[in-house]
Amino acid sequence: MQHIEWRRAAITTSMTTDAYRELCWGAHLPEVAGGYGLLLGYDVVSGELVTAVIEDVEYVRLLIQSPGATVPREKITKTLTDWPTLDPDAESVWS
Domains of the chain by residue range: 4-81
Q: Which of 93, 67, 66 is nearest to 82 (CA)?
A: 93
Helices (H) and strands (E) counted in the chain, each on its own, are 2, 4
In this predicted structure, what is the pLDDT of residue 40? 86
- Phi first, then psi, for residue 21 (nearest 5°) are -60, -45
> What tens digit of pLDDT does each residue of 2-53 get?
677 878 777 777 777 777 888 888 788 898 888 888 888 888 899 888 888 9
Compute the distance between CA of residue 92 and CA of residue 56 in angstroms, rounded to an integer.
25
In this predicted structure, what is the pLDDT of residue 37? 86
In this predicted structure, what is the pLDDT of residue 72? 86
In this predicted structure, what is the pLDDT of residue 88? 63
**Does 90 or 27 have the greater pLDDT score?**
27
Compute the distance between CA of residue 13 and CA of residue 65 in angstroms, rounded to an integer.
21
